[in-house]
């Protein structure tokens, strides 16, 4: 079992965020249990246990991985605050680039 930082793979990260979106939408519309919390424990308990331990003993080195989301449940205002902060940073960057 790995302990410590996870290696960042930009290619896999981008692919995971873009290619599977349509497939996941179709699966969610056909299977009401697809993507629901706890389904991994029912389908493959050994893998679910491994993933749980892995995510608790390692941490991400990707600074962009938790920008717009967090692993813990947070209040709606905290989420919207981080989005506004990101939006303001992007506006400032765009201003200096287009200047």
Model pTM? 0.49
Name the region of 91 (left: φ>0; alpha: ψ -120 to 50; beta: rest).
alpha
Task: State the pairing for strand pair 58-60/4-6.
Answer: parallel
Domain edges within the chain: 1-65, 70-99
For the stretch 21-59, pLDDT in tens is: 888 889 889 988 888 888 888 889 999 999 889 888 888
C-alpha dist (Å) from residue 45 to 28, 42, 52, 58: 21, 6, 10, 20
Residue 64 in contact with residue 10, Cβ under 8 Å?
A: no
Whether residue 67 is predicted with pLDDT greater than 80 in this model: the reply is no
Cα 15 from Cα 13, distance rounded (Å): 6
For the stretch 4-26, pLDDT in tens is: 787 878 788 788 777 788 888 89
């Amino acid at each position: 079992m790995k302990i410590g930082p996870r290696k960042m793979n930009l290619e896999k990260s981008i692919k995971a965020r873009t290619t599977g979106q349509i497939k996941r939408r179709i699966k969610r519309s056909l299977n009401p249990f697809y993507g629901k919390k706890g389904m991994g424990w029912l389908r493959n308990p050994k893998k679910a246990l491994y993933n749980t331990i892995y995510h608790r003993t390692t941490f991400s080195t990707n600074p962009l991985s938790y920008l717009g989301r967090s692993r813990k449940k947070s209040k709606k205002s905290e989420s919207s605050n981080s989005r506004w902060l990101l939006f303001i940073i992007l506006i400032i960057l765009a201003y200096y680039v287009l200047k």
